[in-house]
Structure 1
């Protein structure tokens, strides 16, 4: 029964007309504190009720406030983020669980997410946490999105790519339904990652640090053209001077038809 629930709910975090998604994370406050564009929940009021967003991702408190204040569009899916750590902590890259599957279900979540930052000392912690969350999410019929970051410094691009391929396989072997990655430095790396891993897991690419609008659209469009399942863009949305117009353009970028075949789009993952 859990498999059927995941298959149904994953549609709620994607655009129905393309089966790709534009996910807007608003989980930054726990990590970074009050930042520009997200000092308080009501800062989101001018743009977050928007059918250009396929899903909003946030911690339980933010999601509860967005729902209770009727700030989410009926077509927008909800992803509850389950772990975190403030960046003022001494080991800020080692995230711990701050919520659970039951809370996500009580909030009406369509999916859950966690972030794992790999440093040299936390592999055991990360893999154990990932395995436990995957089991719990799937037992409840919830898809799991993993935000994956490798923070280990390596001497070459080749080693960086090799490690990322290995960690992507770890996430896939654990049973995750989708993964969010930082955009690599070159489209050749994007193409390789998608070709190798997308038959087993949906791949979303992050908007990353605040960047120029055109640079983000160029990189995002190229990722979609190579077969990515969508984009996951936060700061570049909520710190934009005109977020509603920006979201419409981003959604068009994600939804537009590409050269991908129907098989490429309709991944039978959940």
Structure 2
């Protein structure tokens, strides 16, 4: 299977955008809330036809061993790892291979690079080598680029993010995930830094859902090709509702306010009845599922 065919599987056939769920956080932070059940995360990804689940090899193995068939979404094998228990969590190590991704049927692989840290050069080297290997095997590469924020200047941080996008593209990545550039103007600069799809990271969990949706919209309006949202989805009290809201925002191009109303259905039903029915969203019928197919 060629790289172009695999890459096409990572984008919605109608919207041309992508909504991915990264669940690789466990190696870094340990057992986070929402990561305890891979089959449940696969179930959510299937119901809303997410383009990909991004996970380490062990998590993918467990997901495929579950009762929920992985028929609705692709897997991307994440190759980078570190822990907060070590002396330098920013120093990512390569812990798997492109070949292993092929062996388990992954549609692509991902590599994390922290830019602006002392070990930056090692991670840049690893990304370049992985991109070479992936090219030989026809595997798409998602570069997760994280820059050290400049607390004194948002514009300086945005320039760093644009530089990181350019770096990922120059080294051969096919997609790049970046943090929020903080303004529409900065988002446009970041998206135009190199001609590869730019996906917005979800960042840390937030309670201000409307602001989160508005930040997403700014990136999409600037030409971003989608989202790569982890903690703001799997740590959310109502992950299915968040997933539907994000799917509507990305693929149906609804407004942030409409996405917020969709997410708020749970709270509204709880207030009115005291017994919210999660089945309305978490167990979609085929007609509803086809809206995301």
Q: Give the TM-score of the pair, scaled to structure 2.
A: 0.80
Q: Secondary structure at the match of 2:198?
A: strand
**SS at structure 2 position matched to 1:228:** coil
C-alpha displacement of 1:100: 0.5
Q: Which residue of 1 aligns with 2:248?
A: 252
How far apart, in 1, do the equivalents of 2:22 and 2:227 lie?
Answer: 10
What residue ranges of structure 2 are gaps of 5+ in the alignment?
Answer: 255-293
Partner of 1:267: none
Stretch deviating more after TM superposition (86-95 or 115-124): 115-124
Task: Kindly state the Cα deviation for residue 138 of structure 1 after the two structures are TM-superposed.
Answer: 1.2
Deviation at 1:118, TM superposition (A): 2.1
Paired position in structure 2 for 1:210: 205
C-alpha separation between the residues in 1 aligned to 2:84 and 2:193? 33
1:201 aligns with 196
The residue number in structure 2 matching 1:180 is 177
- Which of the pair has more CA radius of gyration? 2
Of 6, 11, 26 in structure 2, the residue corresponding to residue 9 of structure 1 is 6
1:69/1:168 CA distance change after superposition, 3 Å:
same
Distance in structure 1 (CA, Å) of the matches to 2:159 and 2:236: 35
Aligned partners of 1:215 and 1:72: how far apart in 2?
A: 35
Residue of structure 2 aligned with 1:125, choices 99, 122, 127: 122
Distance in 1, Cα, partners of 2:131 & 2:51: 22
- Provide closer, same or farther for how the CA distance between residues 125 and 256 of structure 1 changes in structure 2, counting only shifts above 3 A: same
Q: Which residue of 2 aligns with 1:190?
A: 187
- CA distance, structure 2, for counterparts of residue 120 and residue 215 of structure 1: 29
Residue 120 of structure 1 contacts residue 152 of structure 1 at CA under 8 Å; is this kept in 2?
Answer: no
Aligned residue for 1:263?
A: none
Alignment of 1:158-177 (within 5 A): 158-177=155-174
Partners of 1:49 and 1:125 lie apart in 2 by: 36
How far the C-alpha of 1:42 sits from its partner, in A, is: 5.0
Q: Tell me by how many angstroms 1:14 deviates.
A: 1.5
Structure 1 residue 7 displacement after superposition: 0.5
Q: Indicate the RMSD between aligned Cα atoms, in angstroms.
A: 2.0
Q: CA deviation at 1:49?
A: 3.3
Residues 28-57 of structure 1 show CA distances to partners (whole Å, capped at 9, x for unaligned) of 110100011113535536634323411110
Please say if 1:233 is aligned against 2:229: yes
Residues 147-162 of structure 1 aligned to structure 2 (within 5 Å): 147-151=144-148, 153=150, 155-162=152-159
User: Paired residue for 2:53?
Assistant: 56
2:137 is the alignment partner of 1:140: yes
Residues 19 and 247, structure 2, Cα contact 8 Å, conserved in 1: yes
Compared CA separation, residues 106 and 160, structure 1 to 2 (3 A): same
Where in structure 1 do 4 or more consecutive aligned residues deviate above 4 Å?
A: 152-155
Quick one: distance in 1 between partners of 2:24 and 2:59? 8
Separation (CA, whole Å) in 2 of partners of 1:248 and 1:154:
33
Q: Spell out the pairing of 1:16-31 with structure 2 (5 A cutoff).
A: 16-31=13-28
Question: Is there any run of 5+ residues in structure 1 with no aligned partner, and where?
Answer: 259-270
SS of equivalent to 2:90: coil
Give the structure, 1 or 2, with the largest relative contact order (CA under 8 Å, sep 6 or more): 1
TM-score (norm: length of structure 1): 0.87
Equivalent position of 2:66 in the other structure? 69
TM-aligned CA distance change 1:228 to 1:45, over 3 Å:
closer
